[in-house]
Amino acid sequence: IEIIEGDSLQKLGDVLVNEEVVRLMKWTDGAVGKQLNDFHPGGKDYTHTIVGVFRDVRNQGFYMEQQPIALVMGGAPHAFDVRLRQPYDENLDKLNAFVQETFPDLALNFVSVESLLRDAYSSVSHFRNSVLLTSVFIILIVLMGLIGYVNDETGRRAKEIAIRKVNGASAGDILRLLSRGVLLIAVPCVVVGSVVAWYVGTEWLTQFAGQVCISPLHFVGLAVLLLVIIVCIVVVKAWHIANENPVESIKSE
């Protein structure tokens, strides 16, 4: 936790607050030295002195807006935080075994912060993995279809390509001819797919209060990469026929 104003907790009654508390209280002249009341219905009320302000941290996950947080020196803790050394899992098991043996009547169990975060975002991880796996399969299917299309196209236009070469067309001209036909289909599809992916991704992020910015440049870069891969496949598959002796293709004429 980064303290951006004042000092850390030193004595009973001290309190640290986050930036959200300062914003809600509209303390434009600073928060250090101000009083914060801690009300207990039916019990004793306490007044704490703010000794510092720390940068906002999320203690409720990214599904909720940033919450005001106050860290108070003293009082009965609701949870114990323990820092373990490696190996973490083994030491965590030893800690829980020691607690159960020492305090058998207490329902006290330590869990790792990593497991809490993993459980909190398990649905997000499942969705991400499903989308990633599906995308990989779709790309493989599309590339297989593209290879088949190029093979069929070069076979169908073999004599046309041979005649063009006899009339002076170079291998580069032949490759551009074949690539142009593929790109006329690929470019609109990639553009539409990128726009839809950006829109769906942006809408999906609305469920989170804390969001990252999805730059359209990421999708532009991916679209360009896909088109480069498509052109490379066309060039590789058509390279043989583009450099083949035209006599071999038209000898039956």
Give per-residue pLDDT as tens, 14-27.
889 999 999 998 88
pLDDT score for 212: 74
Nearest by Cα to 58 from 117, 100, 110, 106: 117
Q: Strands 14-18, 35-38: parallel, antiparallel or unpaired by DSSP?
A: unpaired
Domain ranges of the chain: 3-72, 88-118, 122-248
Q: Is the pTM higher than 0.75?
A: no
Whether 30 and 24 have beta carbons less than 8 Å apart is answered as no
Give per-residue pLDDT as tens, 177-219.
888 888 888 899 999 999 998 888 888 888 777 677 778 888 9
Q: What angle do CA 227, 232, 234 make, to 5 degrees?
A: 95
Q: What angle do CA 7, 65, 41 make, to 5 degrees?
A: 70
Amino acid at 106: L
Residue 75 CB coordination number (10 Å): 9
Query: How does 114-123 read in b/e, with b if 16+ C-beta sit within 10 Å?
Result: eeeeeeebee
Per-residue pLDDT of the chain (253 residues; tens, 9 = 90+): 889 998 888 888 788 999 999 999 888 888 898 888 775 555 566 778 899 999 988 777 677 778 888 888 766 667 778 889 889 889 999 999 998 989 888 888 898 888 887 887 788 888 889 989 998 999 899 888 888 888 887 777 777 777 777 777 787 787 888 888 888 888 999 999 999 988 888 888 887 776 777 788 889 999 999 899 988 888 887 777 767 666 665 665 5
Tell me the residue length of the chain: 253
Distance of CA 92 to the CA centre of its chain: 29
